[in-house]
Amino acid sequence: MHGQASWTLSLLSTFVMSAALTFTATSVGPGCQGTCKDQFDCGDQQFCDPSTGRCMTECYTDQDCRSPPECLGNPTACPPRGARCNSVGRCVGRVPPPPETGPITIPEGPDVIEGIDGWDDQPGSGRAFIVDTLAIADQGRGFDVDGACRGPGDCIDNSLWQLGQLGNDQIRQGLLGGETLLLVEFAGINEPFTGNDRTITVKFYGARDADDPFFPANNFQIPQGETKCCEFKINPQSIAGVPPQARARAPAQIQRGQMSSLAAVPIQFTLTVGVPPHPEIRIDRILLSGRVPSALNRFSDGMLGGAVPISTLAQTDNPYCKTLNQLCPRQLPDSTLIDLVASILQPDIDLDIPRDGVERLDVGSNGRISHCYDGGGLQVPPIPITAPSWMCTLNPKVADGYSVGIQFTGVAATVVGVGQ
């Protein structure tokens, strides 16, 4: 499963794997008319932000300003935006910061799908957003994935943050060039949307540009001289079953414009980038958050957090050590991401799955994994026993993982079918 483009390792660790934006507003088209010069270019409950030239919505109610919904899971991380919400959706006035409280964690719930709106809806029938920014979050940004704190207020899990320093630039280039196309769909959302929805389903798809010929310039906005943008087909590897359904989906809710997970669930999908064969990706304990305006034309402040299993990293090519460089003191042409993580970055394995003691990996003199040990300290062999020693990372007994936080935003998009 080697041969992936260099940026895929971060994307993998991400989508294998909360920017502080608000929302672009449009009145026509799928998220493509969001720029503004003054207030007259924006719709109801929106204002023109001169720093970005976009129509924004910070709030629907005063409570959105005093206790920002995106901070509910980590209330000490961000202060109030203001005392009240004015008529154009902007927080104004000052209030003292709220007292410190502990983090809110969401229990795992793989069986919470009963009664979730949109869970079985046809792919592409809901509100779709094409991801226009994607990055592994900085240290200290993400979710409390395991419900444990290292110290007072130190509860956020994102042990793979260093991968972002290596790969975020490549991820950005992949987005701009149209090589990395990801759709996020809100299925089951009640319309007209008023900022609240008790249950929705968030679905993820790889996407293909619906333009023929391929035209990435209109993936996220209408280019000058053009009349449309943001039309995509779902990659067929992102759906499965009869009838076809999204392979990656999670239950969520929306309160005061803030989307948040209803339960921590695993998702699994095929990372359709680079040349085949494409790796199968699993992320455990997925949590999501983000904001949507009433116009449903943009998704911002997006954050995805979860646990990347050791086996996933062990099946993903490491492009950084194919040649000698500052990061890699020796050439490792056949190494994987787990070799890079364990030998050079060396974050702690911080998610014990299942809770039977944290596993341990040893690295040999060749820079590759040499031994695996379970939570009780017993050595775990490769399967089959005659396989190379690094393949102990693929033994089902090595099930622990590394936490990761991924921030993203998206603009409204149109799904025009399923690709071939």
What are 278-315's pLDDT values in tens digits? Answer: 666 778 888 999 999 999 999 999 999 998 999 989 98
Residue 382: how many CA atoms within 13 Å on its side-chain side? 12
Q: Which residues contact 207 (CB under 8 A, 6 or more apart)?
A: 130, 181, 182, 183, 232, 233, 234, 235, 413
Average the pLDDT over 214-227 and give the result: 92
Q: How far apart are CA 305 and CA 15, in angstroms?
A: 9
Band of the pLDDT at 377, cuts 50, 70, 90?
A: very high
Average the pLDDT over 387-394 and give the result: 94
Tokens of 306: 């979860």
Q: Which residues contact 59 (CB under 8 A, 6 or more apart)?
A: 65, 81, 82, 85, 89, 90, 91, 256, 257
Tokens of 150: 């290292």
Q: pLDDT at position 348, please?
A: 78
Percent of the chain with pLDDT over 90: 39
Q: Please state whether 408 falls in left (phi above 0), alpha (psi between -120 and 50) or beta.
A: beta
Residue with structure tokens 């040999």?
364
Q: pLDDT at position 186, please?
A: 97
Higher pLDDT, 26 or 204: 204
Average the pLDDT over 82-89 and give the result: 76
Asked whether the predicted pLDDT for residue 124 surpasses 80, the reply is yes
Q: pLDDT at position 175, please?
A: 86
- How many distinct helices (H) and strands (E) make up the chain? 5, 19
Band of the pLDDT at 44, cuts 50, 70, 90?
A: low
- Going by C-alpha positions, the residue among 181, 189, 182 that lies closest to residue 125 is 189
Domain-embedded: residue 214? yes
Q: Of 19-28, 86-95, 151-160, 355-364, which gets the smallest average pLDDT? A: 19-28
Residue with structure tokens 């990347």?
308
The boundaries of the domain holding residue 83 are 8-311+403-418
Domain-embedded: residue 340? no
- Note whether 81 and 59 are within 8 A (CB): yes
| 3 state DSSP class of 203 | strand
Amino acid at 264: A
Q: pLDDT at position 252, please?
A: 94
Q: pLDDT at position 101, please?
A: 37
Band of the pLDDT at 184, cuts 50, 70, 90?
A: very high
Domain-embedded: residue 337? no
Asked whether the predicted pLDDT for residue 43 surpasses 50, the reply is yes
Phi/psi for 212 (5° steps) reads -135, 105
Q: Which residues contact 45 (CB under 8 A, 6 or more apart)?
A: 57, 60, 87, 88, 89, 294
Average the pLDDT over 58-70 and give the result: 73
Q: pLDDT at position 78, please?
A: 62
Please write the tens of the pLDDT for every residue from 330-369. Answer: 778 888 989 989 988 888 788 887 788 889 999 998 889 9
Domain-embedded: residue 372? no
Average the pLDDT over 65-69 and give the result: 72
Average the pLDDT over 5-24 and give the result: 33
How many residues does the structure list for the chain? Answer: 420
Amino acid at 301: D
Band of the pLDDT at 16, cuts 50, 70, 90?
A: very low
Q: How far apart are CA 279 and CA 273, in angstroms?
A: 9
Asked whether the predicted pLDDT for residue 140 surpasses 90, the reply is no
Amino acid at 399: A
**Helix/strand/coil (H/E/C) assignment for every residue in 222-266:** CCCCCCCCCEEEECHHHEECCCCEECEEEEEEEECCEEEECCEEE
Q: pLDDT at position 30, please?
A: 33
Buried b or exposed e, range 221-251, using 16+ CB within 10 angstroms = bbeeeeeebbbbbbbbbbbeeeeebbbbbbb
- Going by C-alpha positions, the residue among 387, 384, 389 that lies closest to residue 368 is 389
Domain-embedded: residue 338? no
Asked whether the predicted pLDDT for residue 21 surpasses 50, the reply is no
Q: pLDDT at position 163, please?
A: 86
Please write the tens of the pLDDT for every residue from 227-277. Answer: 999 999 999 988 988 999 998 899 999 999 999 998 887 877 665 555 566
Domain-embedded: residue 237? yes
| CA 184 from centroid of its chain's CA atoms | 10
Give me the residues paired with residue 402 across strands.
Answer: 308
| Residue 414: its H or E element | strand 401-418
Q: pLDDT at position 25, please?
A: 28
Q: pLDDT at position 93, please?
A: 72
Average the pLDDT over 55-73 and give the result: 71
Neighbours of 265 (CB within 10 A): 24
Q: pLDDT at position 4, please?
A: 36
Q: pLDDT at position 15, please?
A: 38
Asked whether the predicted pLDDT for residue 324 surpasses 70, the reply is yes
Q: How far apart are CA 60 and CA 82, in angstroms?
A: 12
Average the pLDDT over 39-46 and give the result: 71
Does the pTM surpass 0.75? The reply is no
Distances (CA, A) of 100 to 72, 103, 153: 12, 9, 9
Domain-embedded: residue 307? yes
| CA 416 from centroid of its chain's CA atoms | 23
Asked whether the predicted pLDDT for residue 155 surpasses 50, the reply is yes
Q: How many structural domains is the chain composed of?
A: 1
Asked whether the predicted pLDDT for residue 49 surpasses 80, the reply is no
Band of the pLDDT at 27, cuts 50, 70, 90?
A: very low
Band of the pLDDT at 114, cuts 50, 70, 90?
A: low
DSSP state of 334: T
Domain-embedded: residue 317? no
Residue with structure tokens 């419900």?
147
Q: How far apart are CA 134 and CA 408, in angstroms?
A: 4
Asked whether the predicted pLDDT for residue 419 surpasses 70, the reply is yes
| 3 state DSSP class of 376 | coil
Q: How far apart are CA 155 and CA 406, in angstroms?
A: 16
